[in-house]
Each structure stands twice: as structure tokens, then as C-alpha cells.
């Protein structure tokens, strides 16, 4: 999950500039995604996730670290899926009338898991079902909200994030 966990904090660090929705509104008169989703955040986040995945592949190949077998495809799907999940969540948030940055418990924590799982299941199901076994799934469901909250509080302290969630 590391290639899926990295993109969000990196997007928060380097995000800004042109919003992915180009400031356009949806049919309901509200923003499609909002100013919290930018091209710079998306690109830097995905690149960082893929980069960390390549390091994992290198550690397994060179030092025989006992990590799940990643491939360039799996790390790309995990990193891209994490931020697509985040965008999907923002899209639904805006439809529900929630402002950018407003907390949406559960969805804010698990959006990246849903996105990363969806992309890997669709485009690399063999990898998904070999790696994401029931105990792994349970571990992910337990670890993700704890990690999410901790990193966001840290981001709030160092003034990278406007809200501690
Ligand atoms: N970010 C970005 N591009 C992305 C994702 C995130 O630039 N694709 C940056 C934005 O600066 C954003 C910050 O990371 O404000 C934190 O991300 P997140 O909490 O997901 O966004 P919110 O601002 O809370 O917006 P939303 O309510 O839509 O989730
Ligand atoms: Mg947020």
C-alpha cells in the first residue's frame, strides 16, 4: 500500500495552481471537484507513489526484502488509483454540498483504498487477488485511518494542510 499512501501527502505538499476541473461548475451550480484538486498535486503525487514503488521493486530484487511482489504496473495502478479515488470522493462531496476541505468522515480516510483497489482489480486482477488476502485487507482497513489521521495532523502542524483531517 505504500505506493498508494504516498500520493496524498505529496499532493498536499506540492499541490496548487490550475484546478483539475478548470474552475468549472457542474450542472448543480457547484464546482465539479473544487480548488483542492490540482494538476500539480495529481502529477507530483502519482510520480512520488510510482517512485517509491520502484524503490520497493529494487529492494526486493537487490536485497531480497520480504515485500509483496510489485511490478511497474501494480505500483502505477496503486498510486494513480489513490488519487483518482480522492478525486471521486471530492466529486461526490461537492454534489452533497460539502465545501472544499470540509470533513467527510470515513470517505476522507478510505477514498484512496477504494481507488487503489478498483484500479488494480480492473487492470491487474492477478496481482490484486495474490496480494490482497483477507488478513492483508483487514490490516489495511485498520492501518489506513490511523495513518491518515496522524499524517494529516502532522501536515496541519507544519502548516501544509489547512485542516487537521
Ligand atoms: N491536492 C492537490 N491536488 C490533488 C489532491 C490534493 O493539489 N489532486 C492538495 C490541495 O492543495 C488540497 C490538499 O492537497 O487542498 C489536501 O488534499 P485534500 O484534503 O484531499 O483536499 P481538500 O482541500 O480537503 O478538498 P476536498 O474537500 O475536495 O477533499
Ligand atoms: Mg481534505
Residues 2-54 pLDDT 10s: 999 999 999 999 999 999 999 999 999 999 999 999 999 999 999 999 999 99
- The reply to whether ligand 1 has any atom less than 6 angstroms from the CB of 19 is no
Task: Please state the φ and ψ torsions of residue 71, each to the nearest 5 degrees.
Answer: -130, 170
Index of the ligand 1 atom closest to the CA of residue 86: 20
**How crowded is residue 90: how many other Cβ atoms within 10 Å of its Cβ?**
24
For residue 96, the ligand closest to its alpha carbon is 1
Distance CA 19, CA 60 (A): 37
Give per-residue pLDDT as tens, 41-63.
999 999 999 999 999 999 999 99
Minimal CA–CA distance to 155: which of 23, 33, 41? 41
- The reply to whether ligand 1 has any atom less than 6 angstroms from the CB of 41 is yes
pLDDT at 143: 98
pLDDT at 68: 87
Distance CA 128, CA 107 (A): 22
Distance CA 76, CA 119 (A): 10
Mean pLDDT of the chain: 97
DSSP per position, 50-66: HHHHHHHHHHHHHH---
- The reply to whether ligand 1 has any atom less than 6 angstroms from the CB of 38 is yes
The burial of 135, by beta-carbon neighbours within 10 Å (0-12 exposed, 13-18 middle, 19 or more buried), is given as exposed
Packed helices 7-14 and 39-63: angle between N→C axes, nearest 10 degrees:
140
| Residue whose CB lies within 8 A of the most ligand 1 atoms, among 36, 105, 160, for a mutation test | 36
Amino acid at each position: 500500500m505504500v505506493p498508494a499512501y504516498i500520493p496524498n501527502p505529496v499532493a498536499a505538499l506540492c499541490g496548487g495552481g490550475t484546478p483539475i476541473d478548470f474552475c468549472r461548475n457542474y450542472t448543480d451550480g457547484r464546482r465539479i471537484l473544487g480548488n483542492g484538486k490540482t494538476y500539480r498535486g495529481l502529477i507530483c503525487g502519482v510520480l512520488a507513489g510510482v517512485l517509491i514503488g520502484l524503490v520497493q521493486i529494487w529492494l526486493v530484487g537487490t536485497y531480497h526484502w520480504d515485500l509483496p511482489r510489485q511490478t511497474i504496473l501494480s505500483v502505477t495502478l496503486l498510486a494513480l488509483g489513490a488519487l483518482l479515488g480522492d478525486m471521486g470522493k471530492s466529486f461526490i462531496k461537492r454534489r452533497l454540498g460539502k465545501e472544499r476541505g470540509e470533513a467527510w468522515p470515513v470517505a476522507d480516510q478510505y477514498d484512496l483504498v477504494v481507488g487503489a483497489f478498483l484500479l488494480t482489480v480492473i487492470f491487474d486482477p492477478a496481482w490484486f487477488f495474490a496480494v490482497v488476502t483477507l488478513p492483508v485487507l483487514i490490516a489495511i482497513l485498520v492501518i489506513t485511518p490511523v495513518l491518515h489521521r496522524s499524517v494529516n495532523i502532522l501536515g496541519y502542524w507544519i502548516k501544509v494542510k489547512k485542516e487537521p483531517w
